[in-house]
Amino acid sequence: MDRPDQTTHFGFRDVPLGDKQTLVNEVFHSVAQRYDLMNDLMSGGLHRVWKNLMINALNPPRGDAPFALLDVAGGTGDIAFRAAGTAGAGFRATVCDINSDMLEVGRGRAASRHLDDRVSFVEGNAEALAFPDRSFDAYTIAFGIRNVPRIDLALAEAYRVLKPGGRFLCLEFSTVDMPGLDRIYDLFSFKVIPPLGRAVTGDADSYQYLVESIRKFPKPSAFVEMMRAAGFCRASWQGFSGGIVALHSGWRL
Ligand SMILES: C[S@@+](CC[C@H](N)C(=O)[O-])C[C@H]1O[C@@H](n2cnc3c(N)ncnc32)[C@H](O)[C@@H]1O
């Protein structure tokens, strides 16, 4: 139960804990229609490489063996579609996201790729998943968890819904650790991304939140500790692109 005086951060702003989700939802309602285009423009297409690295780590079975993936904060379906592209006939993905506009874009994309029989879209909150215990072989969350107000609850839910032997993978923006790149990255983040967001989506504030929220997310070593506290075994992480993103991995054993 939250205390009424509890606060958290929304980007660089301190806000009441109970207000953060509403503010996050406004961001993704506002950008949903142009979300995928903005990802390509902001990252120069690199987000595709990072997501493929996550799918390589997930390594879903290529054959007929059943494999159930839950992709939380899955938005417009990118992770589920990429996994379905490499997996065999037994693969099914459930994309769960709190935002109906993001899911609507995802459903349209699934239909146009003829993937609607293998990928389903469900509205739900990462902090309180409406799925039974031990029901998924893998849980992925890409660029999502830093938006969730109570990350410890989301991790506990991830653990709960995974089958024993199930894999948790979290792709998230991280801390640039390459001298020189850090200054260029900061300059690009704060001077280019919000104006680009204004030009493409008409909304600079949402992209200002994006770059600020990245700076507030825990360092990979601290996030791995949170995963261990939630019960995950063999928790580890790997940085990509000079630390711009990190892939965190853990197992429910
Ligand atoms: C940056 S997008 C990532 C979408 C997708 N995973 C990708 O990589 O393209 C973040 C997503 O997190 C979702 N989100 C935010 N808070 C959430 C919550 N508490 N539970 C589920 N999804 C949430 C947003 O609606 C949004 O679709």
32-80 per-position pLDDT tens digit: 999 999 999 999 999 999 999 999 999 999 999 999 999 999 999 999 9
In this predicted structure, what is the pLDDT of residue 163?
98
**In this model, does residue 169 exceed pLDDT 80?**
yes
Task: Give me ligand 1 centre to Cα 180, in Å.
Answer: 30
Please tell me the least confidently modeled range out of 96-100, 177-181, 210-214.
177-181
Residue of higher predicted confidence among 247 and 2: 247
Cα separation, 32 vs 50, in Å, equals 21
Residue entry with tokens 């293998």? 118
Q: Mean pLDDT for the chain?
A: 96
Q: Is the pLDDT assigned to residue 183 strictly greater than 80? A: yes
* Distance from C-alpha of 215 to C-alpha of 42, rounded to nearest angstrom: 16
CA-nearest residue, atom 10 of ligand 1: 144
Average pLDDT over residues 142-168: 98
Residue 208 near residue 223 (C-beta atoms within 8 A): no
Spatial separation of the C-alpha atoms in residues 106 and 231, rounded to whole Å = 31
Q: pLDDT tens digits for 75-134?
A: 999 999 999 999 999 999 999 999 999 999 999 999 999 999 999 999 999 999 999 999
97 CB near ligand 1 (under 6 Å):
yes
- CA of 251 relative to ligand 1 center, distance in Å: 22
pTM over 0.95: yes
172, pLDDT greater than 90: yes
Q: Whose CA is nearest to atom 25 of ligand 1?
A: 99
Choosing from 17, 42, 122, 143 the residue with most ligand 1 atoms within 8 A of its CB, the one to mutate for a pocket test is 143
Ligand 1 binding pocket includes 24 (Cβ within 6 Å): yes
Q: State mean pLDDT over 3-8.
A: 87
pLDDT at 1 over 80: no
Question: What pLDDT, on a 0 to 100 scale, did the predictor assign at position 249?
Answer: 98
Cα 99 to Cα 204: distance, rounded to the nearest angstrom: 20
Ligand 1 atom index nearest CA of 25: 25
Residue 92 phi, psi (nearest 5): -135, 140
How many angstroms is it from 155 CA to the middle of ligand 1? Answer: 15
